[in-house]
Amino acid sequence: MRLLIRGARVVDPAGGLDAPLDILTDNGKIARLGADLAADGAQVLDAIGLVAAPGLVDLHVHLRQPGFEDKETVATGCAAAAKGGVTTLVAMPNTRPAADCPDIVRLVRDKAAPTGVNVLPAGAVTVGQKGERLTDFAALKAAGVPALTDDGVPIQNLALLRRAMQEAKRLDLPLLDHCEDRDMVQNYAVNEGDVSRQLGLPGRPAIAEELQIMRDVMLAEDTGAHVHICHISTAKGVDIVRQAKARGVPVTCETCPQYFTLTQEEVLRQGTMARVNPPLRTQADVDGIRAGLLDGTIDAIVTDHAPHTAQEKARPLPDAPSGMVGLETSLALALTGLYHTGLLPLARVLALMSASPAALLGLPKGTLEVGRDADLVLFDPEEEWTIDKEQFVSKGRNTPFHGRTVRGRVKYTISQGKIIYMEG
Ligand code: DOR
Ligand code: ZN
């Protein structure tokens, strides 16, 4: 099967390429890039006016299967990914049962196979994500996990965490850490600050995240393990990573569109829709996240796509689960908040969503180099549209971005040479 993508502006940040070119795929691979390529019997896709970029690589997605199929399934989550331009994703292990053994890893991968989205299930660090006993890292690695994480449940036991890092280092597996001190954040709903005080609720303080980032940076320095900080949300947190990188600590980090777009005040307007862990913070934090994206401290933009049911999100703020969906809106929000504002060049935004996260896990993805998998997103960088949660293909409708007008729209998603999403 051959596909000729004609007339797109081809942006491949890894190769430093930004030019109007045709792309020919053959047998799932990028076969040629060039001007006026001949069709030669290939299926032709007219991409004039569109940007063609590497398919997005999302390091942080909750697919919910097994165990929480009322929130999402692998199939619906992958459909949402395809609609958002995501061709590779890392699935978080906080399912029921947790992905703490090869069987669950394989189950998730098997469910994903027919979707065309390349799903890499991460393995849990501790059995059942209980923070008590380490899982069998070697067995998980043999089953193909790209990384280990107890995301959703911060690891409190430092002796255990240090041993996890030593073992992860030995096996060359990154640890993806959800940083928030559990004793400090409990099950609180919002950032500790003006909004929590106004609501009369206890809050999740920024220091709860920053202390664990500091702790994990120091343990990474001590053990030599690659520690990746998940969904960083505070200015000081970014600063800690910045300083650690400057002294050569093997630490990387990610953030999400909500953390460079929204502040804690969103909770006053939208209640549980704006409840997420870590919580939305202050404008100074939003500015700090943007600064970290600008100077390269932050390595990746991910979604932390966390679907919940309407019934769950209809509970009172203190009782509703945390999380927001993101797969179908992340590219548009990144383009709107970072590119159309003039903060970052287009290639840089795309690198943060493809080449850089792929490199961080050592995946042969995130580039349009000849010979690589033909994973692409084709999008109109200028089209304005209004986010409508009723149009989502995810089972999750829990977004704080419903009704927001954004700029940049996915038209086609191609995975290994196959069109897995097409608008309309
Ligand atoms: O808001 C969140 N929701 N943060 C997490 O870390 C976990 C996630 C979930 O699984 O719902
Ligand atoms: Zn998390």
Average confidence (pLDDT) over 18-47: 96
Q: What is the pLDDT of residues 25-34, one digit of tens each?
A: 999 999 999 9
| Residues in contact with 305: Cβ distance below 8 Å, sequence separation at least 6, in sequence order | 58, 60, 61, 62, 77, 80, 325, 326, 327, 394, 396
Average confidence (pLDDT) over 351-363: 98
- 82 pLDDT tier (thresholds 50, 70, 90): very high
Structure confidence at residue 237 (pLDDT): 99
Q: What is the pLDDT of residues 211-225, one digit of tens each?
A: 999 999 999 999 999
User: Which ligand 1 atom sits nearest the alpha carbon of residue 324?
Assistant: 1
Could you give the percent of the chain with pLDDT greater than 70? 100
Structure confidence at residue 94 (pLDDT): 98
Q: Where are the alpha helices (DSSP H) in 68-205?
A: 74-83, 102-112, 137-142, 158-171, 182-185, 194-199
Query: Average model confidence (pLDDT) for the chain?
Result: 98
Indicate if ligand 1 lies below 6 Å from the C-beta of 398.
no
User: Which ligand 1 atom sits nearest the alpha carbon of residue 307?
Assistant: 11
If you take atom 9 of ligand 1, which residue's CA is the nearest one? 306
Q: What is the pLDDT of residues 242-285, one digit of tens each?
A: 999 999 999 999 999 999 999 999 999 999 999 999 999 999 99
**pTM for the whole structure:** 0.99
Ligand 1 pocket test: pick from 68, 180, 262, 277 the residue with the most ligand atoms within 8 Å of its Cβ: 277
**pLDDT over threshold 90, residue 39:** no
Q: Could you say which ligand is closest to the alpha carbon of residue 232?
A: 2
Cα-to-centroid distance, 27 and ligand 2 (Å) = 37
- 324 pLDDT tier (thresholds 50, 70, 90): very high
CA 342, CA 258: separation in Å to the nearest integer? 18
The SS3 call for residue 412 is strand
Asked whether the beta carbons of 212 and 156 are under 8 A apart, the reply is: no
Tell me how far CA of residue 31 lies from CA of 24, 57, 132, in angstroms. 5, 21, 49
Structure confidence at residue 40 (pLDDT): 86
Average confidence (pLDDT) over 365-383: 98
CA 160, CA 176: separation in Å to the nearest integer? 15
Average confidence (pLDDT) over 406-415: 98
